[in-house]
Amino acid sequence: MDPYPHYAALRGLGPAVYLSEYDIYGLFRYEHVRPALVDWERFSSAEGIAMNPTTNEAMEGSLLGMDPPRQREVRTVFTDALRPKYVRKVADGLEQLAGQLVDDLVQRGEFDGVTDFARTLPVGIVLDLIGFPRDEQREEILDWALGAFNYMGPYSDHQASSLPDVQALAQYLTTKATPEKLLPDSFGQIVWEAVGRGDITENEALMTMSAYACAGVDTTIAGISSTLWLLARNPDEWAKVRQDPTTVPGAFLEGLRMEAPIQSFTRVTTCNVDLDGVTIPAGSRVVLSYGSANRDERHYPDPDRFRVSRNPSDSVAFGFGVHNCPGRVLATMEAHALFNALASRVEKIDLAGEPVRAPNNIIRGLERLPIRVT
């Protein structure tokens, strides 16, 4: 359950490591992961970014599984919707909602850091922005999306157990997330308008909606709850945030560095790639470990220590290069609203019990996080 000692061992082995059990190469050092994310011509996403062929075939038409120039064209649909000027429209609402939420949690004293704290804004705000109908199936989307991430791992019983989630999500997207059912003025409508103009195909639109559902919500919840967990375990760091709330952005960046919500995706090499004397043959699948790169002692001194003043704006938690996360502004705004609200109202954050992890092949997050605040 703690991948970090394993990553440290893998980083120590060399610039690239061949993982024979999965017939896959892995890059674990920051100095190799970040440049590989930029180098899409040699580290291609076009054959998918999951660790098994079934998922990669199913993801065909997804922005995540494309290279430029097509990737740039399809991505425009996303960036149109996620441009800061649109996203900022929800900013005031976010602050108010976060304030009300934290007032309520402070009154309760004890609460769950995942379901009561981290989930509320992504579920209330992001699912509305995407435009999914406001019905009882909304909460289920989160579980299906987590399952879809888990299904991206190497073949195993655990990976295969998520097939029903993948099927449920696909069924939902084709029957419920249709243009006539999506909320008006939502990202979803922008996606389907792009189909109407002939900018993207219907399949690309469906895959884009799937990317919204998967990439947009569970990642944010994981990032916010992991940061809360780190703040609870590091009271001195919370005291710094309380004293100087301008450190809130740094605290969230540091939380994402320490516990990258997306731990890894893969690429395929288009030619032989030489990395400091190790050759990765053309056509190899290569894991790029964001989680390990962010903890690389060669890049971040004392990497396992949570320090709100570190301000690691160069971490790869949001990826880097052509596929860098277009939802970054939105996720960051939600987190800032929540931690600012906490900083002005809460003196002490304590763990009120043992956190429970949700094992997942891609997402590092928590299922339960018992918290007490004063």
364 lines the binding site for ligand HEM (CB under 6 A): no
- Report the distance separating Cα 335 and Cα 329, nearest Å: 10
The DSSP result for 158-209, as a single string, is HHHTTHHHHHHHHHHHHHTSSTTTSPTTSHHHHHHHHHHTTSS-HHHHHHHH
- What tokens were used for 322? 């052509």
228 lines the binding site for ligand HEM (CB under 6 A): no
Closest CA to 287 of 10, 60, 61, 63: 10
194 lines the binding site for ligand HEM (CB under 6 A): no
Binding string, 32-71, against ligand HEM, x = CB under 6 A?
-----x-------x---x-------------xx------x
- Report the distance separating Cα 12 and Cα 156, nearest Å: 27
Which residues pair with residue 287 across a beta bridge? 26, 266
Query: What kind and span of H or E run contains 367?
Result: strand 366-368
Query: What kind and span of H or E run contains 28?
Result: none
Binding string, 66-105, against ligand HEM, x = CB under 6 A?
-----x---x--x---------------------------
What is the DSSP code (8-state) at residue 26?
Answer: E
**72 vs 103 by CB, closer to ligand HEM:** 72
Q: Smallest distance, Å, CB 126 to ligand HEM?
A: 6
For ligand HEM, the binding residue among 132, 265, 306, 339 (CB under 6 A) is 265
Positions in 303-342 near ligand HEM (CB under 6 A): 317-319, 323, 325-327, 330-331
Q: Smallest distance, Å, CB 66 to ligand HEM?
A: 7
- β-strand pairing of 285-289 with 24-27: parallel
Local structure of 344: helix, strand or coil: coil
119 lines the binding site for ligand HEM (CB under 6 A): no
Q: Smallest distance, Å, CB 157 to ligand HEM?
A: 26
**18 vs 86 by CB, closer to ligand HEM:** 86
Q: For binding to ligand HEM (CB under 6 A), which residues are involved?
A: 37, 45, 49, 63-64, 71, 75, 78, 126, 211-212, 215-216, 219-220, 223, 256, 261-262, 265, 290, 317-319, 323, 325-327, 330-331
